[in-house]
């Protein structure tokens, strides 16, 4: 597996934020975000967890039982959305 530079990681994180911003208010699964940014689920989860730690995205919920047990839903945080709206509008 190749290593990604900090600059590359930042760009990928920005893409993930853009996907969540575009889907607001509908939360997306890790897999859906991964499909949109053309990355694997495992790497996308690391990106989203990094963004969660930075307060940019919010983990909505995890499945409780059945085939969706490990499904995690994400949405852009209120603060990040407000900042993006100010910069776009």
Ordered by start, the domain boundaries in the chain are 6-84
Tokens at 78, concatenated: 């209120």
Q: Exposure of 56 by Cβ count < 10 A (0-12 exposed, 13-18 middle, 19+ buried)?
A: buried
Which of 39, 28, 19 lies closest to 84, judged by CA? 19
CATH code, residues 6-84: 1.10.10.10
What are the pLDDT tens digits along the chain (89 aa)?
568 899 999 999 999 999 999 999 999 999 999 999 999 999 999 999 999 999 999 998 765 655 656 778 999 999 888 888 888 76
């Amino acid at each position: 597996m190749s290593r990604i530079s900090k600059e590359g990681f930042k760009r990928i994180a920005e893409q993930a934020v853009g996907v969540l911003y575009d889907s607001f208010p509908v939360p997306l699964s890790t897999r859906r975000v991964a499909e949109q940014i053309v990355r694997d689920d495992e790497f996308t989860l690391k990106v989203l967890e990094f963004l969660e730690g930075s307060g940019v995205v919010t983990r909505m919920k995890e499945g409780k039982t059945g085939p969706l047990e490990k499904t995690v839903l994400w949405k852009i945080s209120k603060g990040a959305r407000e900042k993006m709206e100010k910069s776009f509008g």
